[in-house]
């Protein structure tokens, strides 16, 4: 026993240096890893809001998309994951993701009163200065004071949340006190942007796609991560969550992003083609579904908590509309599922005439008041056309055929006719497709959506997996265009009393994250509609051209407007123009609309969901296909 013990001691003595060295090296490595983890996942949010205010000011002064991206990337680099989440939303003028909504309910006239009291001035003087300088934010920015405190990003977020939450009797007075206290606690530049955020008039000239680029620049110094970040955002449309996930988990966390119940998935979109023959040549054998003229809904049903089941309805532009449709909530709660995400088209159905009502009637269901009466007057039916998620399983990677099969199984014995799976017909030839198209047109529908049976669901993508085939009118394009109002021109003659005689519209260029002009429109509206258009525009008026709008000086409107109002435009054809900026090529010619007419507003679409430059180019080329087939 003694011999064994001596041998063990001898072995220890010979290896003690190795053991000590290994111990200290391993301890050092663990400490380094722990330090890096804690640095990347700080729980103490300490960035001063003044840093954010200064960057917002810089962003408002530059027009270069690359410079904007770099400024944002540097800002995100300084932020903790929690701060990055907050900043991503604030930079878009929101307190939280768009699907949750931000509503301060504190009007500009109330800010005028706050500023008059705060700056020891009068309401009349503040109103004059606001008109002269463009907005009340610019008024406060022209003053100077020392902030009472150095508020952090988290401090400001909490105070904004508290202000938004105030409601009921006396809430406006209390909001005024809290708003003034908040403004005094920040510097004048920060105060300007806080006012604009609370008034929903923040205009920094970029969208969520620029934030995606900025996050890539933050991580690797270029846009090489854009595809991965955009894919994650398409599946989980919460830009703040994307930012905080990248900060805390790196690109590995982004690559493993999955569907979250209650967070909308960015919808897939259909391409356009001029006729049945072109579609069959493109797709081969396919399936076709009726195209209903209602509004698209993404439905989330979560019954994992038996005592508190939740049904959410998100619009095409990812706005939560759940409170508007209590009748549909009841219908979807009858489903025997734990978790479900599906898509459908909601449309008003008249049981007396057994027909669908036009979109102008269906859209009346999107209201905040008089909902119970609207349910009686305008009963909705939902026609489901896709399944995205069911009971913990994602279906995005499944083929259309597989997704539809599961959807049909789910509703096989469902008794409530408020919800139905849309019809579908297999198509093998252009003649079959043309016949089915005419059958739907005769039934008063818009046309067809044609789909590849083996295609997967690609969130946020517009491609030829789905193709629209719509009614074509002689002398017109085969489809209308969704455009954004960029400004208006003051009227003359009869329209002088309206204050508007024509308006400028543009389309979206996703590559540049900007809007490019395509038409100046002066027809298609009745007198009352001209007045409504001016009212809509005046709530979003600007003193100068937005940085994300490309427009020739010859087309500058009398009044610029924030690019937020989406409208439907019909035209006879698309031509080439030396003036309009949409899709300008090396020959310096852009696309323009010939004889454009206003049709309606599309409040269910965001500006970035309007007709893109690529679509406009295809529509231009499709005109020649149509002419050849006549």
pLDDT band at 78 (very low <50, low <70, confident <90, very high): very high
Give the confidence band of 475 by pLDDT, cuts at 50, 70, 90. Answer: very low
What six digits make up the tokens of 235? 């599946």
What pLDDT does 85 receive? 98
Interval 177-222: pLDDT, tens: 999 999 999 999 999 999 999 999 888 989 999 999 999 999 999 9
Domain 269-470, architecture per CATH: 2-Layer Sandwich (3.30)
Q: What is the pLDDT of residue 24?
A: 57
| Mean per-residue pLDDT, 45-57 | 93
Position 68 pLDDT exceeds 50 = yes
Q: Which of 31-35, 51-55, 205-209 has the highest mean pLDDT?
A: 51-55
Mean pLDDT taken over the chain: 88
| Pairwise pLDDT comparison (12 vs 313), residue with the higher score | 313
Give the pLDDT confidence score for residue 141 in this predicted structure. 83
Q: Is 359 left (phi over 0), alpha (psi -120 to 50) or beta?
A: alpha
For position 433, what pLDDT does the model report? 96
pLDDT, average across residues 315-322: 91
More confident residue, 33 or 441: 441
| pLDDT given for residue 192 in this prediction | 95
Distances (CA, A) of 130 to 51, 96, 179, 194, 559: 25, 28, 18, 16, 16
pLDDT at 230 over 70: yes
The pLDDT-based confidence of 4 (bands split at 50, 70, 90) is low
Query: Poorest-confidence range of 241-245, 349-353, 420-424, 626-630?
Result: 626-630
Q: Is the pLDDT of residue 32 over 90?
A: no
Helix (H) or strand (E) holding 509: strand 502-509
**In terms of Cα–Cα distance, which of 558, 548, 540, 560 is closest to 196?**
540
pLDDT at 18: 56
Q: Which of 115-124, 128-137, 174-183 has the lowest mean pLDDT?
A: 128-137
Nearest to 285 by CA among 443, 135, 125, 401: 401
pLDDT tens sequence across 350-380: 877 777 888 878 888 888 788 888 888 889 9
- More confident of the two residues 624 and 214: 214
On the question of pLDDT at 16 being above 70, the answer is no
- Residue 9 confidence (pLDDT): 57
Please report the DSSP string for 350-377 in residue order: ETTTTEEPPHHHHGGG--SSSHHHHHHH
Highest average pLDDT, of 12-16, 603-607, 622-626, comes from 603-607
Q: What angle do CA 157, 102, 563 make, to 5 degrees?
A: 115
Ranges of each domain in the chain? 1-40, 269-470, 481-629
The larger pLDDT score, comparing residue 24 to residue 229, is at 229
Domains 269-470 and 481-629 share a fold: no
Q: In this predicted model, which residue has the larger pLDDT, 253 or 479?
A: 253
For the segment 5-12, the average pLDDT, to the nearest whole number, is 54
- pLDDT bin (cut points 50, 70, 90) of residue 617 is confident
pLDDT band, very low/low/confident/very high, at 287 (cuts 50, 70, 90): very high
The 10 Å CB-count burial string (b at 16+, else e) for 213-247 is bbbbbbbeeebebeebbbbbbbbbbbbbbbbbbbb
More confident call, 92 vs 628 = 92
Identity of the highest mean pLDDT range in 272-276, 385-389, 536-540, 568-572: 385-389
**List 175, 192, 291, 451, catalytic entry:** 291
pTM equals 0.82
Is 291 designated active site? yes
Query: Quick check: 473 pLDDT over 50?
Result: no
**The CATH number fitting domain 481-629, selected from 3.90.1170.50, 2.40.50.140, 3.40.50.2300, 2.60.40.10:** 2.40.50.140
User: Tell me: the pLDDT tens digits for 424-454?
Assistant: 999 999 999 999 999 998 888 889 999 999 9
SS3 for 94? coil
Which 8-state DSSP code applies to residue 162?
H
């Amino acid at each position: 026993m003694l011999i064994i013990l001596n041998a063990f001691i001898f072995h220890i003595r010979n290896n003690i240096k190795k053991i000590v060295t290994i111990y200290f090296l391993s301890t050092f490595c663990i400490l380094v890893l722990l330090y890096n983890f804690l640095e990347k996942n700080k729980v103490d949010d300490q960035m001063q809001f003044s840093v954010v205010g200064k960057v917002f000011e810089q962003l408002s002064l530059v027009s270069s998309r690359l410079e904007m991206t770099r400024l944002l990337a540097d800002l995100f680099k300084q932020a903790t994951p929690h701060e990055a989440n907050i900043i991503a939303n604030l930079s878009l003028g929101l307190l939280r993701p768009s699907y949750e909504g931000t509503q301060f309910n504190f009007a500009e006239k109330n800010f005028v009163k706050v500023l008059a009291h705060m700056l020891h001035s009068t309401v009349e003087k503040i109103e004059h200065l606001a008109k002269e300088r463009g907005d009340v934010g610019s008024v406060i920015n022209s003053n100077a004071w020392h902030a009472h405190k150095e508020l952090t990003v988290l401090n400001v977020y909490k105070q904004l949340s508290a202000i938004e939450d105030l409601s009921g009797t006396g809430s406006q007075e209390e909001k005024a006190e809290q708003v003034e206290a908040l403004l005094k606690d920040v510097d004048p530049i920060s105060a300007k942007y806080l006012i604009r955020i609370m008034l929903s008039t923040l205009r920094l000239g970029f969208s969520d796609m620029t934030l995606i680029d900025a996050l890539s620049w933050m991580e690797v110094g270029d846009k090489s991560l854009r595809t991965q970040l955009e894919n994650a955002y398409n599946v989980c449309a919460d830009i703040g969550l994307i930012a905080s996930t990248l900060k805390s988990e790196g690109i590995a966390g982004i690559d493993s992003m999955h569907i979250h119940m209650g967070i909308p998935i960015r919808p897939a979109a259909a391409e356009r083609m001029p006729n049945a023959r072109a579609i069959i040549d493109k797709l081969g054998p396919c399936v076709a579904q009726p195209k209903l003229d209602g509004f698209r809904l993404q439905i989330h049903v979560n019954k994992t908590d038996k005592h508190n089941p939740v049904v959410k309805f998100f619009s095409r532009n990812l706005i939560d509309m759940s409170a508007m449709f209590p009748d549909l909530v009841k219908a979807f709660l009858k489903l025997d599922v734990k978790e479900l995400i599906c898509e459908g088209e909601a449309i008003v159905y008249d049981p007396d005439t057994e027909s669908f009502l036009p979109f102008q009637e269906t859209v009346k269901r999107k209201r905040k008041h008089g909902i119970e009466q609207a349910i009686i007057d305008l009963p909705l039916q939902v026609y489901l056309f896709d399944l995205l998620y069911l009971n913990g399983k994602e279906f995005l990677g499944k083929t259309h055929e597989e997704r539809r099969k599961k959807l049909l199984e789910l509703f096989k014995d469902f008794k409530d006719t408020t919800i139905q799976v849309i019809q579908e017909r297999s198509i093998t030839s252009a003649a079959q497709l043309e016949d089915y198209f005419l059958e739907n047109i005769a039934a008063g529908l818009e046309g067809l959506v044609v789909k590849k049976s083996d295609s997967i669901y690609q969130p946020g993508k517009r491609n030829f997996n789905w193709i629209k085939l719509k009614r074509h009118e002689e002398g017109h394009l085969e489809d209308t265009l969704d455009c954004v109002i960029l400004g208006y021109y003051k009227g003359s003659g009869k329209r002088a009393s309206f204050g508007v005689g024509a308006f400028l519209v543009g389309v979206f260029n996703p590559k540049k994250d900007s809007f490019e002009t395509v038409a100046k429109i002066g027809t298609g509206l009745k007198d009352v509609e001209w007045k409504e258009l001016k009212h809509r525009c005046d709530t979003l008026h600007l003193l100068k051209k937005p940085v994300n709008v490309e427009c020739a000086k010859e087309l500058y409107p009398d009044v610029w407007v924030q690019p937020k109002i989406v409208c439907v435009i019909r035209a006879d054809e698309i031509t080439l123009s030396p003036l309009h900026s949409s899709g300008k090529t090396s020959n310096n010619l852009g696309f323009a609309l010939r004889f454009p007419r206003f049709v309606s507003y599309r409040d269910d679409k965001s500006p970035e969901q309007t007709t893109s430059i690529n679509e406009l180019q295809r529509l231009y080329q499709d005109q020649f296909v149509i002419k050849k087939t006549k």
